[in-house]
Homo-oligomer: A and B are copies of this chain.
Amino acid sequence: MDPIRIAVVGVGKIARDQHLPAIAGNRAFGLAATVSPHDPGVEGVPHFASLDALLAGGPAVDAVALCTPPQVRYDLASSALARGVHVFLEKPPGATLAEVAALHSQADKVGATLFAAWHSRFAAGVAPARAWLAERRIDKVEITWREDVRVWHPGQAWIWEPGGLGVFDPGINALSIATRILPRPIFLQAGTLEIPANRAAPIAADLQFRDTAGAPVHMDLDWRQTGPQSWDIVIETDAGTLKLSSGGAVLTLPSGTSHDEDHEYPGLYARFATLIRTGQSDVDIDPLRLVADAFLRATRVSVEPFED
């Protein structure tokens, strides 16, 4: 089979750290081009200042991976789908739920693949956690996602602007895992968002969800964590406690701990290739819907200004 000719759009940190290596490491793909108005491209690969320029006059591409901020992603995705080009959406898949739904309809209509990628779902501990929980009674879930925004998102202004998610940018990873491993849907009951006085998006959140059987799911998000970082989900069940830590990489069950190599982005690209080869889309909106629900439902509190 010929490799899928793919262009990476938005050549920032996530593209260089994750997408380009994952594409280089997967023989189903060939990097055909890069696109960015500001960033340089990759040695030896055609580079374009815009997706329109690539689609109009560049080498043929079968697929694009959109690694731009979510606020500009709809038009890029829609242009690509309009030409039957498959689309990989970095998380979050869009700035609004409705635009993602519209892209999903468009993809179905033109017969192209749309993949809303949730990289944390491909962390090593997630699939075994899901399997272990499937038959358990869930008594209580505690999600703790505390990291230092200055370390992980230095100077990324868009993340604080309307349509950026603030602390939900990492928090949505936790929600992508929780919605994958828990056997029942969850929904928000109450919560608090802490918004710096000089920013539009929250720097911390405390959220009370429950599942449809009534089990409480508490989520503690904080971007002001210095020192040790926490990306943990602890689930109490009738068969003991499950703990997923390090963002899903380390799984501790009553029977012991396992820790496999990271393969999140390789896993995503393997999945994207399968979706393209089988003519399917995978657009799970649940994590972003829970974030939208938090913006809709939670109480906002103004906290001290945040300066990078």
Contact = CB atoms under 8 A, between A and B. Distances in A.
Interface of A: 74, 78, 95-99, 101-102, 105-106, 162-163, 185-188, 190, 200, 212, 286, 289-293, 295-300
A295 B293 CA distance: 9
Contacts of A97: 97, 289, 292-293, 296
A296 B292 contact: yes
A187 B74 contact: yes
A162 B298 contact: yes
Contacts of A190: 162
B296 A187 contact: no
A96 B295 contact: no
A96 B162 CA distance: 20
B295 A292 contact: yes
6 contacts: A97-B97, A97-B296, A98-B188, A99-B188, A162-B299, A292-B293
Contacts of A290: 98
A107 to B, nearest CB: 12
Given A78-B212, A299-B200, A293 B98 contact: yes
A287 to B, nearest CB: 10
B163 A98 contact: no
Nearest to A164: B297
Given A78-B212, A106-B212, A212-B106, A98 B186 contact: yes
A95 B297 CA distance: 7
Contact of A185 (B102, B185, B296): B102
B298 A102 contact: no
A77 to B, nearest CB: 12
Given A162-B297, A162-B298, A296-B295, A185 B286 contact: no
Pick the 3 closest A-B CB pairs, nearest first. Answer: A98-B187, A96-B293, A99-B187
Contacts of A95: 188, 296-297
A299 B164 CA distance: 11
Contacts of A78: 212
A213 B99 CA distance: 12
B102 A212 contact: yes
B298 A185 contact: no
A111 to B, nearest CB: 17
B297 A96 contact: yes
Contacts of A295: 292, 295-296
A292 B292 CA distance: 6
Given A212-B78, A289-B98, A105 B185 contact: yes
Nearest to A290: B98
Contacts of A102: 185, 187, 212
Given A96-B188, A289-B292, A296-B296, 11 more contacts: A96-B293, A96-B297, A97-B97, A98-B188, A102-B212, A106-B212, A162-B297, A162-B300, A200-B300, A291-B296, A292-B293
